[in-house]
Amino acid sequence: MTNAIAVQPSAWGKFDPHGCDWATDINHAFRIGQLWGEQCMIWMCPPNGDPIKWCRCDTNTNAIADLVFGVAK
């Protein structure tokens, strides 16, 4: 089973499958979130069921991601 990953501004609140940016993996999602230039939410979208708020893209989360995954460049 493969989950899709989407990124959109946190201010939108609810998931918007037509307005979000789709990522190929979590590293790609963090890079997309940085490009938005505002606080973003990464959503995990299972093949069946509702999308789940996974994590935020912000300064603190990016610092943690850099330590763990080597993402925030």
Low-confidence ranges of the chain (pLDDT < 70): 1, 62, 65, 70-73
- At 56 the pLDDT is 87
Q: List beta partners, residue 40.
A: 9, 57
User: Which pLDDT does position 60 carry in this prediction?
Assistant: 75
- The pTM assigned to this predicted structure is 0.79
- pLDDT value of position 30: 86
Tell me if 41 sits within 8 A of 58, measured CB to CB: no
